[in-house]
Amino acid sequence: MSDVAIKLNNIGKKYQLTDEKRTLIKSVFTPHKKPKEVWALKNINLEIKRGETIGIIGENGSGKSTLLKLIAGITSPTKGSIKVNGTVGSLIELGAGFHPDLTGRENVYLNGTLLGFTRRDLDKKYREIVDFADIGEYINQPIRTYSSGMIMRLGFAVAINLDPDILLIDEVLAVGDENFQKKCLDVMKLLGQQSISIIFITHNSNLIEAYTHRCYFMNKGIIIAEGSSKKIISKYRLFMNAKKNI
């Protein structure tokens, strides 16, 4: 088995944007404006080994979340290749993968089924998921009745208990209470010791420094620095301080 969990080669992601809302009359009598092309990611190359915990840091709009969506298979690259070796558990957008009208319990089974688990498998894992989420009787209520913190609790519990080889986490821990955040971070550290690869996005540079082995610093869709988390966080702080003084 390869020791490489994730490999991205020359990845680019392009979106087409337009401010114009087309109506039937407009489409008939006026020429259609060419959409503006925006490259959210440009020439991304990275390799993550099994058991590594990687941080990705950068300002809003730097391409961090887009990068995780590509790895998770939520969207496809415009150019380049992605190789992911193993199953992926992701907590990228709050409530992503949950149906608002289904109960927490129903959503646990739905998510597990989509990942290829049998009903018997999920019956065995269900109690662990519910105990970790610790949302009480709300597990039997529709997701639409949940607070953002409760959604995050259940999403994280599902992601870590369905035996992922790779775990993707994007900023959502920020909505949890302090005790639950610590619980999640402790589990992340434990998973990293079990050869599970973790990619962690947060604006909290202290967490990146404390919980990750290496870090990628992104800006305007490109990786501008990569190395030990301590070294990259130092560069990031200098970058942000320089922007404040402009």
The pLDDT tens digits of the residues spanning 61-88 come to: 999 999 999 999 889 999 999 999 998 9
CA distance 62 to 172: 17
Residue with tokens 């380049």: 80
Q: What is the pLDDT of residues 200-246, one digit of tens each?
A: 998 888 889 888 989 999 999 999 999 999 999 999 999 998 887 76
Class of domain 4-244: alpha beta
Terminal CA-CA length for the chain: 50
Cα 219 to Cα 87, 120, 153, 175, distances in angstroms: 28, 45, 30, 24
What predicted TM-score, i.e. pTM, was given to this entire model? 0.83
How many residues can be counted in the chain? 246
Q: Give the CA distances from residue 212 to residues 64, 180, 185, in Å, rounded to whole numbers and listed in that order.
A: 16, 19, 11
pLDDT of residue 141: 96
| Banded pLDDT at 22 (limits 50, 70, 90) | low
From residue 9, give the alpha-carbon distance in Å to each of 37, 48, 107, 214.
22, 12, 34, 19
The bridge status of strand 79-84 relative to strand 222-228 is unpaired
Per the listing, tokens 């990619």 go with: 199
